[in-house]
Amino acid sequence: MRISQQHSNRQSHNWLIYDIGDQNLLKYSQHYKGILYDLGAGESPFKDFFLEYADQYIAVDWAGSFHDTKADIAADLNLPLPIESEVVDSVVSLSVMEHLCEPQTMLNEAYRILKPGGGIVLQVPWQWWIHEAPYDFFRYTPYGLKYLFEKAGFIDVVVEPQSGFFTMWILKMNYFSQRLIRGPRLLRWAIKTVLLPFWYLGQKAAPLLDKIDKNWELETSGYYVTAKKQ
């Protein structure tokens, strides 16, 4: 199932990360239910997908976001949210917490607004380049994530790596090489033409090579966390 629009662009240097995102969004689909709040929703690219499972989708994001935000509720996730307590069935937050200078506040607030028995699905990068600077503050180990979630009050905290070493390494190489494409238009075209087969073949091979890696969590591209409110 294709969820991300970028999924189908096989001339991209990073289509694999969107494939991984699609696979994991489907993997955790049992957690999307009832009234769902997307914290740091940005352009709400997954709204239609979440509404296949949840009854209602509410986008929450900062008005000064780098994205073309389509927020139903404008709020700074570093601060207490203008949302009543225990009114939400499920929370999702994808590639957001690394951009928060007060991540514990966001997790505390996610816990507060969830109904008892409600759940959260959160994704963060680990081995990933600095992006959306200067609003890129943290990278989290599995132990740091578990600590922060449990400190907020969550139970049944499960942290899972989203890839192995080879996917992480090949994607980092592709991002680096993509930044080499510069200069006059003809030169940029020539450089991209040379790089395209390496990008494509590397991303096709990476999931197969990841089978060699027996401990993905050590050097993964990112983590997914699921947890619930008691």
pTM value surpassing 0.85: yes
Look at the domain 5-164+215-228 and name its fold: Rossmann fold (3.40.50)
- Say whether pLDDT at 161 is over 70: yes
Question: Among residues 6, 9, 31, which one has the least CA distance to residue 123?
Answer: 31
Q: What's the CA angle centered on 169, arms 163 and 174, to 5 degrees? A: 110
Domain limits, the chain: 5-164+215-228
Question: Among residues 184, 221, 207, which one has the least CA distance to residue 192?
Answer: 184
Largest distance between two CA atoms of the chain: 59
d(CA 160, CA 91): 17
The pair of structure tokens assigned to 197 is: 């087969």
pLDDT value of residue 109: 98
Q: Dump pLDDT digits (tens) for 64-75.
A: 666 677 799 999
Please say whether the beta carbons of 75 and 113 come within 8 A. no
Please say whether the beta carbons of 135 and 107 come within 8 A. no
Q: What is the DSSP letter of 68?
A: -
pLDDT value of residue 69: 77
pLDDT value of residue 40: 97
Please say whether the beta carbons of 125 and 222 come within 8 A. yes
